[in-house]
Amino acid sequence: MNKDQVAGKLKDIGGKIQEEFGDAIDSPEQEAKGLANQVEGKTQKKLGDVREALDDATDGRTTTTTTTTTRRP
């Protein structure tokens, strides 16, 4: 798990709490902010998922470059 996955999940959870709090106090503004935080969190988590997949796909692969030098008389 990378930091984007963790931060995204936490932001999503925080947004759910904020949305529920806004509903409890009848504040459409807080509900909307909570929903926005959930979207932002889910997006950040997806970014982390993509980065994780890329890291997994490139593990074990090494790029080797060979340089050949030719001498001319």
pTM for this predicted structure: 0.75
pLDDT for position 62: 59
Q: How far apart are CA 32 and CA 45, in angstroms?
A: 20
Q: What is the pLDDT of residues 27-57, one digit of tens each?
A: 999 999 999 999 999 999 999 999 999 999 9
Residues 6+ apart with CB under 8 A from 54: none
Residue 11: is its pLDDT beyond 80? yes
pLDDT for position 71: 75
